[in-house]
Copies of this chain bind each other. A is one copy, B any other.
Amino acid sequence: MNFEMISAAAKRVDGHVRRTPLLSSPALDDIAGKRILVKAECLQHTGSFKYRGGWSAVSALDEATRNRGVIAFSSGNHAQGIAAAAHAFGIPAVIVMPSDAPTLKIEGTKRLGGEVVLYDRGARECRETIGTNIAKERGLTLIKPYDEPQVIAGQGTCGLEIAEQAAALGVSEADVLVCCGGGGFTSGVALALAEKAPKMRVHPAEPVGYDDVARSLKSGKAERNAVEAGGLCDAILTPMPGEITFPIMSRLCGPGLVASEDEALRAMGLAFQHLKVVAEPGGAIALACALFHADDVDSDTIIATISGGNVDPSIFARALETL
Q: How far is the CA of A42 from the CA of B272 in the complex (A)?
A: 11
Kindly state whether residue A182 has any CB partner on chain B within 8 Å. Answer: no
Kindly state whether residue A230 has any CB partner on chain B within 8 Å. Answer: no
Nearest-Cβ distance from residue A88 to partner chain B, whole angstroms: 11
**What number of copies of this chain does the assembly contain?**
2
Q: How far is the CA of A18 from the CA of B276 in the complex (A)?
A: 14
Given the complex, which residues of B lie within 8 Å of A47, measured CB to CB? 274, 276
Given the complex, which residues of B lie within 8 Å of A30, measured CB to CB? 111
The main secondary structure of chain A at its interface with chain B is: helix
Kindly state whether residue A260 has any CB partner on chain B within 8 Å. Answer: no
Nearest-Cβ distance from residue A156 to partner chain B, whole angstroms: 21
Check if A320 sits within 8 Å of B313, measured CB to CB. Answer: yes
Kindly state whether residue A247 has any CB partner on chain B within 8 Å. Answer: no
Instruction: Digitize A284-323: 1 where CB-to-B-CB distance is under 8 Å, 0 elsewhere.
Output: 0000000000000000000000000100010011001101
Kindly state whether residue A172 has any CB partner on chain B within 8 Å. Answer: no
Binding site for B on A (CB under 8 A): 15, 18-21, 23, 26-27, 30, 40, 42-43, 47, 111-112, 168, 269, 272-278, 309, 313, 316-317, 320-321, 323
4 additional A-B pairs beyond A19-B21, A26-B111, A269-B313, beta carbons within 8 Å, are A23-B43, A43-B277, A47-B276, A313-B323
